[in-house]
Amino acid sequence: MLWFTKKRADRFHRVGFDCGRKSGAYVLTVVDAEGSETVTTFLEEDAMVAEAVRLQLDLESRGWSALARST
């Protein structure tokens, strides 16, 4: 899961998304700032990746910052 954060009114909000495969389809899961999940399926990996990149660029253009991955 790749998480983005943005401070609003003395509180940090998080948005995350994850790319993967499930039952033969490519799946993009998005967790919004309220914690709700949206799952979108794709027939092709390229389409899923393109949507993930679009989401990342949109978040960054609106001031969200990616959190460093921890292991």
d(CA 10, CA 62): 18
pLDDT, one tens digit per residue, over 10-59 is 888 999 999 999 999 999 999 998 899 999 999 999 999 999 999 999 99
Domain assignment present for 71? no
Structure tokens at 40: 């979108």
Identify the CATH number of the domain in which residue 42 sits: 2.20.140
Reported pTM: 0.83
Flag whether 54 is in a domain.
yes
- Name the E strands within 1-71: 2-8, 11-22, 25-31, 37-42, 65-66
User: Domain range spanning residue 37?
Assistant: 2-66
| Number of independent structural domains in the chain | 1
> Partners of 18 in the beta sheet?
29
